[in-house]
A = this chain, B = another copy of it.
Amino acid sequence: MTRQELCDQIRIKKSFLCIGLDSDPAKIPHHLRSFPDPVFEFNKRIIDATHDLCVAYKPNLAFYEAQGVRGWTSLERTLEYIPREQFIIADAKRGDIGNTSALYARAFFETLGCDAVTVAPYMGRDSVQPFLNYPGKWVILLALTSNEGSLDFQMKVAEGVPLYEKVIRQAAEWAGPDELMFVVGATHPEKFDEIRKLAPDYFFLVPGVGAQGGDLEAVCRYGMNDEVGLLVNSSRGIIYAGDGPDFDLKARAAALEMQANMKKVLEMKGF
């Protein structure tokens, strides 16, 4: 999917919501557990109930890998089921030496057909480059993550700037905003202003709103650019909003609340 197509979807749906499919078999409503593939049934109903409210889905690979072959089967079925106009992000946080990253790129872009993959920057340029060799596909590079551990290394100052800033500056030399985005956690709202100045044209994937405590309003105030430039993710806050037979309606209500807030911001900013 191109940047233009993504921006069009955001305007059409008045939403920059990404829904994280962190689908844990242990948290799936009881009435779905007798299905042959409960994780797929769960995802299918979440997608049916929310796809008009979001522009992206983000399956988190860990939740599928924990189930082995069975989990990968659920994942492949889920990806086939997601409507074509959605931007699909494999939240995989991969990154390895060049010949290995090339295989991961094949896994996510060819085998699974995703639009984007999250990549960890620790191993540097040649670990990221193979993911950039696919036209129309995206790298979403970890910059400043939403967890407490983001303070351990990402905030350390090297050559006068914190590591996450170094990562953004370097990566912006490797790829432009048509193929690269950055992960910037909503739990650091005070940083959005400077990070946006650092990378004015890039999309940010923003986790940490909801269960992790991030604030949508602050993220929008400091993080938006003139194309919106944000994909705000919620996982647990939407998909586990309910756990009964009406879990999909509860998920829709939670997604609708976020989308309504996004719509308000978009209209206020004249989109």
Interface residues of A in 180-213 (CB under 8 A from B): 207, 212
A103 to B61, CA, bound (A): 9
**B contact residues around A166 at 8 Å (CB):** 153, 156
- Per-position contact with B for A149-179: 1 when CB-CB < 8 Å, else 0? 1111110111100010011001000000000
A122 to B157, CA, bound (A): 14
Kindly report which residue of chain B lies nearest to residue A103, judged by CB atoms. B62
A: contact size bracket: 35 or more
* A106–B170 touching, CB < 8 Å: no
Known contacts A76-B68, A124-B152, A153-B166: A147-B97 contact under CB 8 Å: yes
Kindly report which residue of chain B lies nearest to residue A100, judged by CB atoms. B62
Interface residues of A in 110-150 (CB under 8 A from B): 110-112, 120-128, 142, 145-150
Kindly report which residue of chain B lies nearest to residue A73, judged by CB atoms. B69
**A95 interface residue, CB < 8 Å from B?**
yes
A10 to B69, CA, bound (A): 33
Instruction: Give the oligomeric copy count.
Output: 2
**B contact residues around A99 at 8 Å (CB):** 22
**A66 interface residue, CB < 8 Å from B?**
yes
A120 to B167, CA, bound (A): 15
A163 to B103, CA, bound (A): 27
* B104–A65 touching, CB < 8 Å: yes
* A122–B97 touching, CB < 8 Å: no
A247 to B128, CA, bound (A): 32
**A94 interface residue, CB < 8 Å from B?**
yes
**A222 interface residue, CB < 8 Å from B?**
no
Counting chain B CB atoms within 10 Å of each CB, the highest count among A120, A146, A152 belongs to A152
* B159–A157 touching, CB < 8 Å: yes
Tell me, rounded to whole Å, the shortest Cβ–Cβ distance linking A19 to chain B: 16
**B contact residues around A29 at 8 Å (CB):** none
**B contact residues around A41 at 8 Å (CB):** none
**A227 interface residue, CB < 8 Å from B?**
no
Interface residues of A in 1-38 (CB under 8 A from B): 22, 24
Tell me, rounded to whole Å, the shortest Cβ–Cβ distance linking A166 to chain B: 6
**A234 interface residue, CB < 8 Å from B?**
no
A119 to B123, CA, bound (A): 12
A122 to B96, CA, bound (A): 13
**A67 interface residue, CB < 8 Å from B?**
yes
Candidates B69, B98, B159; contact of A72 at CB < 8 Å? B69
Known contacts A76-B69, A95-B120, A107-B66: A156-B163 contact under CB 8 Å: yes
**A residues neighboring B (CB under 8 Å):** 22, 24, 60, 62-63, 65-69, 72-73, 76, 91, 93-101, 103-104, 106-107, 110-112, 120-128, 142, 145-154, 156-159, 163, 166-167, 170, 207, 212
